[in-house]
Amino acid sequence: MQSSTPGSSPDIRVLVVIPAYCEERNIGSVVRSIRNLFHHDILVVNDGSTDNTGEAARKAGAITLDLPCNLGIGGAVQTAYMYAIAHGYDAIVRLDADGQHEPADIERLLEPLRDGTADAVIGSRFLGEATYRASFFRMTGIRFFRVLVNLFTGCKFTDPTSGFFAINRHLMQFYSAQYPSDYPEVDSYILMHRLKIRAVEVPVRMYEREKGKSSITPIRAIYYMVKVTLSFLINRIGRIE
């Protein structure tokens, strides 16, 4: 299960998507480490960075979309869905620009999509060997969203805030019209549930970020909890376009 070499079971066109905001120090090595393992096209969505993220991504060999203003993670990833649909990709794998997602696990995410057994595959840091260690506060947040998501979907997801996932074209088409703008991960579970999307989790490895600061501060963490819970509940009853 190394790469998408011609001949491997049903060949699909895969786009690896990395949303990036001010990650000029990490983005190059992340792009290169993916290119060393796979032949998939890599798309970096430069979300209005004030540093040279776009240039660094291009140098490392990624296709780069430069958003003229900062849209937030959801708007940036949605642009990638629009790009993938316009250019005929069958699947998208999304991972973070800070190197916390293990690129070698991309193929694990794609397997269920190739088999056609799932429409969305979410990488969980808590399945399998589970080497990931989180702080108490982060763990509390994750547990809270786990309960919320599992309560409303009736499924057993272990890692509802995971930003390491793969989706097929069917779901991309929906998401390119409607996708939460700020913190899309938790919200997307309720959308998938309502769209009757077949979602599965597979074990992946996640690490602490390599360089630079995480965007999480206590105030933002509280805002995140409130905002995500609210929009999750609104998406439960809201209109789907």
- Binding site residues, other proteins, CB under 8 A: 45, 63-69, 71, 75, 78-79, 82-83, 86, 181
Shorter beta-carbon distance to other proteins: residue 86 or 237: 86
Shorter beta-carbon distance to other proteins: residue 72 or 212: 72
With beta carbons less than 8 A apart as the criterion, state whether 170 and 119 touch: yes
Report CA-CA distances (Å) from 95 to 7, 16, 17, 150, 235: 26, 8, 6, 23, 24
Give the 3-state secondary structure of residue 111.
helix
Q: Which of 97, 125, 94, 99 is nearest to 110 (CA)?
A: 94
Shorter beta-carbon distance to other proteins: residue 86 or 151: 86
Shorter beta-carbon distance to other proteins: residue 79 or 231: 79
Q: How far is the CB of 153 from other proteins (least distance, A)?
A: 27
Q: How far is the CB of 137 from other proteins (least distance, A)?
A: 31
Q: How far is the CB of 191 from other proteins (least distance, A)?
A: 17
Q: How far is the CB of 128 from other proteins (least distance, A)?
A: 36
Shorter beta-carbon distance to other proteins: residue 71 or 122: 71
With beta carbons less than 8 A apart as the criterion, state whether 17 and 176 touch: no
Q: How far is the CB of 126 from other proteins (least distance, A)?
A: 33
Instruction: For residues 160 and 175, give the distance between their C-alpha atoms in angstroms, rounded to a whole number.
Output: 18
Instruction: For residues 196 and 190, give the distance between their C-alpha atoms in angstroms, rounded to a whole number.
Output: 10
